[in-house]
């Protein structure tokens, strides 16, 4: 029998890729839900429901109607700068709405897969974080996501939290961009780009998030999973890889320190995540960064 899957945040960059991946499979009957109308209204391999997950009654109705076996929550306010300056709104979406989804999952016996971030960590380290490490977020976005993780763990008896990192891939029109796409666009048009050389990350190809989430659908146990790329490098190194793989002019890349960049919102210095657990328990096998960049632009 087909499993009924509800993807919340289905217009988003990651949510849409998960929707496209799962709705192409015979095992699943997929419904996408998002705040605004479907960004691909002509698609017919899934059902789409427009709903605001901050609205209690709307969420109850959604669950009654779909009766999902699996709920994948990709919705969030995902811009750290915006969250820093809109804290109540951030709490509403990233914490309270996530908790509401968790309560409804518990009520209807659904498994919840909730997306979170490397930004739950403080960054004061030089080794990859594991699922056992203690979060210590340095910005409001990270705090809200850590709180959401704790709410999900408290309210759900069947759940997984997937922490993902600097997701890259081709965005659809209207979706936000990402650093790989930005670097490629700048270098292709002969423009310089300043990139930080002292923030370390494990960048994630968006298709690998879909892979990890699909593995988590059938994996029986609860808890945290780090789902990201296999290499840890600085944003400046990521930019150089883009230039290298796409054979673009690397001299346009201007490495700068975080202090020189003067970002409005603090970010962790080092937030690379270990994927040993996901490799071992799920059989997760992400693309290398070079493979991901090649696949993205092929
Ligand atoms: N992108 C990244 O690099 C990373 C992302 N993450 C996490 O992964 C998840 C997905 O991120 P990303 O793909 O970037 O997200 P996006 O910002 O691209 O998409 C989030 C989606 O959530 C939907 N949404 C927001 N508020 C509501 C609401 N009240 N009701 C219903 N839907 C709502 C929006 O819908 P609509 O468009 O219809 O308004 C939007 O499409 C998030 O949890 C984020 O915190 C973690 C690490 C890195
Ligand atoms: C736009 C830009 C970013 N950067 C750096 C800053 C940052 O370290 C990195 C990525 O920048 P962004 O603004 O895309 O994203 P940023 O807000 O830093 O990234 C985060 O997004 C949220 C949703 C997360 O959960 C995190 O995992 C992470 O991916 O690139 C530059 O060096 N130069 C630039 O021109």
Residue closest via CA to ligand 2's atom 17 equals 80
Q: Note the ligand closest to the C-alpha atom of 239.
A: 2
Q: Angle, to 10 degrees, between the axis of helix 289-296 and the axis of helix 179-188?
A: 60
Residue 147 lies in a domain: yes
Residue 235 lies in a domain: no
Residue 192 lies in a domain: no
ipTM for the predicted complex: 0.97
* Number of compact structural domains in the chain: 1
Average pLDDT, the chain: 97
Residue closest via CA to ligand 1's atom 9 equals 74
Give CA–CA dist 109/155, Å, rounded: 12
Q: Which residues line ligand 1 (CB under 6 A)?
A: 9, 11-15, 34-36, 52-54, 74-76, 78, 93, 97, 115, 117, 145, 164-167, 175-176
CB–CB of 273/129 below 8 Å? yes
Contacts for 251 with CB less than 8 Å, ≥ 6 apart: none
Give CA–CA dist 202/84, Å, rounded: 23
Residue 10 lies in a domain: yes
- Check pocket membership of 166 for ligand 2, CB cut-off 6 A: yes
Residue 257 lies in a domain: no
Q: Note the ligand closest to the C-alpha atom of 272.
A: 2
Give the structural domain span for 73.
Answer: 3-168+204-230+273-286
The CA 47 to ligand 2 mean position distance, Å, reads 32
Looking at ligand 2, which atom is closest to the CA of residue 178? 14
- β-bridge partners, 115: 162
* Sign for the pseudo-dihedral over CA of 219, 92, 64, 22: negative
Residue 248 lies in a domain: no
Q: Note the ligand closest to the C-alpha atom of 35.
A: 1
Give CA–CA dist 119/83, Å, rounded: 13
- Check pocket membership of 178 for ligand 2, CB cut-off 6 A: yes
- pLDDT over 70, % of the chain: 100
Domain at 118, CATH number: 3.40.50.720
For the whole model, what pTM was predicted? 0.98
pLDDT over 90 at 221, yes or no: no
- pLDDT over 90, % of the chain: 98
Compute how many other C-beta atoms are within 10 angstroms of the C-beta atom of residue 254. 13
> 125-179, pLDDT tens digit by residue?
999 999 999 999 999 999 999 999 999 999 999 999 999 999 999 999 999 999 9
The CA 249 to ligand 1 mean position distance, Å, reads 32
The CA 219 to ligand 2 mean position distance, Å, reads 30
The CA 194 to ligand 1 mean position distance, Å, reads 26
Residue 209 lies in a domain: yes
pLDDT of residue 143: 98
Residue 50 lies in a domain: yes
Looking at ligand 2, which atom is closest to the CA of residue 267? 18
């Amino acid at each position: 029998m087909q499993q009924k899957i509800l993807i919340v945040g289905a217009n988003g960059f990651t949510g849409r890729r998960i929707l496209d991946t799962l709705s192409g499979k015979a095992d699943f009957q997929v419904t996408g839900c998002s705040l605004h109308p479907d960004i691909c209204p002509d698609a017919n391999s899934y059902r789409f429901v427009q709903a605001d997950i901050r609205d209690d009654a709307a969420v109850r109705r959604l669950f009654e109607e779909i009766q999902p076996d699996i709920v994948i929550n990709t919705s969030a306010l995902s811009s750290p700068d915006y969250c820093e300056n809109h804290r109540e709104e951030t709490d509403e979406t990233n914490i309270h709405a996530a908790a509401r989804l968790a309560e409804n999952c518990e009520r209807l016996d659904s498994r919840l897969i909730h997306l979170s971030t490397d930004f739950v960590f403080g960054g004061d380290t030089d080794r990859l974080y594991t699922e056992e490490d203690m979060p210590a977020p340095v910005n409001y976005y990270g705090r809200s996501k850590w709180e959401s993780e704790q709410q999900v763990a408290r309210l759900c008896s069947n759940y997984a939290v997937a922490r993902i990192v600097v997701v890259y891939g081709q965005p659809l029109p209207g979706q936000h961009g990402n650093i790989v796409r930005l670097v490629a666009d700048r270098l292709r048009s002969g423009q310089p780009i300043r990139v930080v050389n002292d923030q370390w990350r494990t960048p994630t190809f968006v298709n690998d998030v879909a892979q990890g989430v699909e593995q988590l659908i059938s994996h029986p146990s609860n808890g945290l999973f780090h789902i990201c790329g296999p290499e840890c490098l600085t944003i400046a190194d990521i930019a150089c890889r883009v230039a290298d793989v796409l054979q673009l002019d690397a001299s346009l890349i201007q490495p700068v320190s975080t202090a020189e960049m003067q970002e409005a919102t603090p970010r962790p210095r080092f937030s690379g995540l270990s994927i040993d657990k996901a490799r071992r328990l799920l059989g997760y096998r992400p693309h290398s960064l070079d493979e991901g960049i090649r696949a993205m632009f092929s």
